[in-house]
Chain A
Amino acid sequence: MSKNLSQSVQEIIKDKKIEPRPKWEFKFKEYTVWLGAFSFAIIGGLAMAVIIYMLKNNDWDLSKQASHSFLGFIFITLPYFWILLLVLFSLFTYYNFEHTKRGYRYGLSYILLGIILISLFLGIVFYNIGLGRVMDNIFFNRMPFYEKIMSHRQNIWLKPNQGLLAGKIISEVINDEFELSGLDRKIWLIRKSKAFVSPIIILKLGEPIKIIGEQIDNNIFQAKEIRPLLGPRHPSLPRPGMRMFFQDER
């Protein structure tokens, strides 16, 4: 058979009317793979933007108070959901890139390094145009599971015995005292004499605040510093991981 193999291939091609697949089919496949790689990289960039947004609003100055160590604080407050999403879409990007025509020529470490740098670059760009905050808000409004997943970030404000308390003012401020409903709905009497109050908040009924201070009694808390709970003022976009408490008000 070997002497006639080439000839028999010719005959099979003719008999079965086999044709070369058209060029556009290969081009289409190649562009689809590239499009997939770009899309996944952009989604990874968006995830990175939310991570940057969350890390920038992470109350780093309270790390010692909120946790026994700085590492412990990072462990408590890292936005795992977004990190997981970033890793996942980085892997999708890698998979697609490797399946482009020449993707195999680059080693795993080079491709991954490239993807990390691209995600970081896109993440910084997206963060600076406000997409980190917008993405966080979209997920909060459209994904019922999201707030639950992210709730671990607000738990640091449920530690009155460690001097950290957050909630909503539920009374007028009289004689440097007011009542606060904590994130766990527990009612506290707050004493604010000598406390530093952030100039961007007004202590009025319904105001969401964070207090750094000291627990004096079972339901009495002495404030040393009062900060806005929702970060930079934006009525529709509250601070990340702090919205469950205000959900019923919207």
Chain B
Amino acid sequence: MINNQNFNKKIDSELVVLTLADQDNFLYLTKRYENRLLRYIKRISGFNQEEAEDILQDTFIKVYQNLNNFDDSLKFSSWIYRITHNQVISHHRKIKARPEYYSGQLNEEILHNLASDLDIAKEVDKQYLHQNINKILANLDFKYREILVLRFLEERGYKEISDILKKPAGTVATLLNRAKKRFTDELIRQNINF
């Protein structure tokens, strides 16, 4: 096994090769993605900590089993997010429940970016957004919620989202526009009823 210092310098695809040579090295990959993916699962699904961890555990095992299928033309992060996305969908299908929503701690910069990208001009709406983003996202369809999470909370680019969701870039752009509109509508609707 490589030592910790070397591990920090290795890029994901190098760790994949090292893991295929020695299973112990997989730990470095899982540690690198554990928190990010756990947060992502909770953000798109709203599952509680325990359920999200179960899904992540299954995800990591699936990733390990499919390491030989990792495509170099993709970012490893896109590939692992894709597998996570599939695991969440499959878990959703199993339980068929509409979960409570969780977004975790959002920093001010993300909220600011989200507000300006959504063209939210009214201060009252901005304030409501800061306080109730979870509630707004929770009321959106899964496909809209997920694409908003990927773009604004996970800060993924269009190409990455296209690779994660396995949709053409044009479809991603259309879906994102629709999602933003739904989000804004929901924000206004909730703020008015508040």
Interface residue ranges, A against B (CB under 8 Å) = 1-2, 5-10, 12-14, 18-23, 25-26, 101-102, 104-107
Contact = CB atoms under 8 A, between A and B. Distances in A.
A105 B162 contact: yes
Interface in B17-53: 20, 23-24, 26-27, 30-31, 34, 38, 49-50, 53
Interface of B: 20, 23-24, 26-27, 30-31, 34, 38, 49-50, 53, 56-57, 60-61, 64-69, 71, 73, 162, 166-171
Nearest to A21: B65
A106 B168 CA distance: 5
A8 B57 contact: yes
A105 to B, nearest CB: 6
Contacts of B69: 21, 23, 26
B53 A9 contact: no
A133 B173 CA distance: 47
Chief secondary structure at chain A's binding surface: helix
Given A6-B27, A13-B26, A20 B73 contact: no
B57 A10 contact: no
B24 A10 contact: yes
Nearest to A26: B69
A107 B68 contact: no
Given A1-B50, A12-B61, A105-B168, 19 more contacts: A5-B34, A5-B38, A5-B53, A5-B60, A6-B31, A6-B34, A10-B24, A20-B64, A20-B67, A21-B68, A22-B68, A23-B68, A101-B71, A102-B71, A104-B166, A104-B168, A105-B162, A105-B169, A107-B170
Contacts of A105: 162, 168-169
